[in-house]
Structure 1
Amino acid sequence: NLDEAVDLVMFAFEHANPGDLFIQKSDASTIGDLAKAVQQLFGDTGTNIIGTRHGEKLFETLMTREERLRSEDMGGYYRVAADNRDLNYDKFVVKGEVHTMADDSYTSHNTNRLDVEGTVKKILTTEYVQNALKEMEAEKKA
């Protein structure tokens, strides 16, 4: 969504430090729920389940465990600080517990998962889908 991209750029412009990475928090949906949602809106064309194909992933990683450890939750976004540590390891003596990774990555599998109804609502927020539905309605009346 173009508006969300502009919002992210403006938010980053206002809150970023050099080298920061911004990740927008996002809802996720299974491909099955997405198919059902699209068919609810545009008509049932049937679904063929073909299974996982070579190279397909179960989920997308949006932020690794290492990035998540140095991230800051800023409401609708995560800000991941640049890793600006000095590479001269002789300077460091580590005492106590060392944390190099968070418990989990931030992925499409562990973010807020939309059901079919939630996916329909999300799809309806896009101007493209709204226009397509209006065109379909106009064609039915003609």
Structure 2
Amino acid sequence: MLDLNGKSILITGGTGSFGKTFTKLILKKFPQVKNLVIFSRDEQKHFQMAMEYSDSNYPIRYMVGDVRDRERLFRAFNGIDIVIHAAAMKHVHIAEFNPMECVKTNILGAENVIDAALHSNVENVVALSTDKAAAPINLYGATKLASDKLFVAANNIKGNRNLKFSVVRYGNVMGSNGSVMPFFLKKRTDGILPITDERMTRFNISLNDGCKMVFDAIANAWGGEIFVPKIPSYKITDVATAIAPECKQEIVGIRPGEKLHEEMITVSDSFNTWDLGEYYAILPQKPPFNLEEYVKKYKAVKVEEGFSYNSNTNDQWETVESLRALVRTHVDANFTI
């Protein structure tokens, strides 16, 4: 059973949507946590977060820094037990037009996190990924795939250190910065909702469930896994209908780098993917642990060859009614139709 009391934890990108929710849950679940370091380059978000969680009332330290800055990370990792790497440049269309900025943050930043962990006493690193890293067609997805590969491979160079690197990969997060639900809620007053393509589908997960996946990875990772949750899909038109049935849905076309449907496990991944019950785990081709023991421990079942996990062929779907309930619960408690 996971117990983070007495542990020192650092969250890169800690002032973002995930970081704030994860911080809230840590303070609630593990009130005796030793230290929580919020590492982010956005000083304004630091200020806003500190208004809610002051460092005088909570074991929190706010540290301004960028994952591109290797020396700053080395200093930040001093005395840290667990690192959650959530910092990323994540907007697909912005990355398409600013490619090297995305590479510097998502790939070089990931390597800096790994180096800092290897040169400190960190025990566990969990990196957040995205469905766009599976068979990527955009630069953002390609950089996150490279990041995933770096974290998985880091287990091969840790030597005798008591250190594990793992990855959590999931789909669109309800209510996160830049996500579609808050966007539609804002646009509904215009009477028109822009729809990229009426066929578009996406995976759907709440911030709380995303955080739960990270807690599970901290507790259960042996090192090298890419954990993938079993979550429902939605149609973009159903989201629009759920939020603003009175609005016209105007097709505007897919933006640069976007897919019609997202994938979290490709057919090629199926050769190394295991069903762990609540979620899947994509393992390295040569795991840095005893595979037979792993399978026995988690009652893992190998997926069929040719298996893929695609938002369009998913067997779990949100409905207009369920989406409305989710908007009220996770995005806007005052939402009404």
TM-score range, shorter chain: 0.5 to 0.7
Q: Indicate conservation of the 8 Å contact 1:25/1:77, yes or no.
A: yes
Larger radius of gyration: 1
Task: Work out whether residues 68 and 106 of structure 1, in 8 Å CA contact, stay in contact via their aligned partners in 2.
Answer: no
Query: What is the alpha-carbon root mean square deviation over aligned residues?
Result: 2.6
- The aligned residue for residue 102 of structure 1 is 305
Q: Which residue of 2 aligns with 1:119?
A: 323
After TM superposition, give the deviation of residue 76 of structure 1 in Å: 2.8
Q: Partners in 2 of 1:69 and 1:124 — Cα distance? A: 40
Is the 1:18–1:82 contact (alpha carbons within 8 Å) kept by the matching residues of 2? no
Q: CA deviation at 1:62?
A: 0.8
| Amino acid corresponding to residue 30 of structure 1 in structure 2 | K
* Residue aligned with 1:48, SS: strand
Match of 2:285 among 79, 83, 86: 83
Partner of residue 70 from structure 1, selected from 272, 279, 284: 272
Q: Deviations over 1:31-68 (max 9, x none)?
A: 1111001115xxx2322234556654220011111223
Distance (Å, rounded) in 2 between the aligned partners of 1:26 and 1:102:
21
Deviation at 1:118, TM superposition (A): 2.7
Range with greater deviation from structure 2 (26-35 or 67-76): 67-76
Structure number having the greater strand percentage: 2
| Long gaps (5+) in structure 2 | 1-205, 288-303
Cα deviations across residues 92-136 of structure 1 (Å, max 9, x unaligned)? xxxxxxxxx83232111122222322322333331x321x43xx7
Work out whether 1:57 is the aligned partner of 2:259.
yes
Residue 10 of structure 1 deviates from its aligned partner by 1.2
Q: Which amino acid aligns with 2:232?
A: D
Give the drift of 1:69: 2.9
- The two structures have a TM-score, normalised by structure 2, of 0.31
Structure 1 gaps, min length 5? 86-100, 137-142
Query: What is the CA-CA distance between 1:24 and the residue it aligns to?
Result: 1.4
Higher RCO, Cα 8 Å, sep 6+? 1
Fraction of identical pairs, as percent: 26
Secondary structure class of the residue paired with 2:317 = coil
Q: Normalized against structure 1, the TM-score is what?
A: 0.66
Match of 1:3 in 2: 208
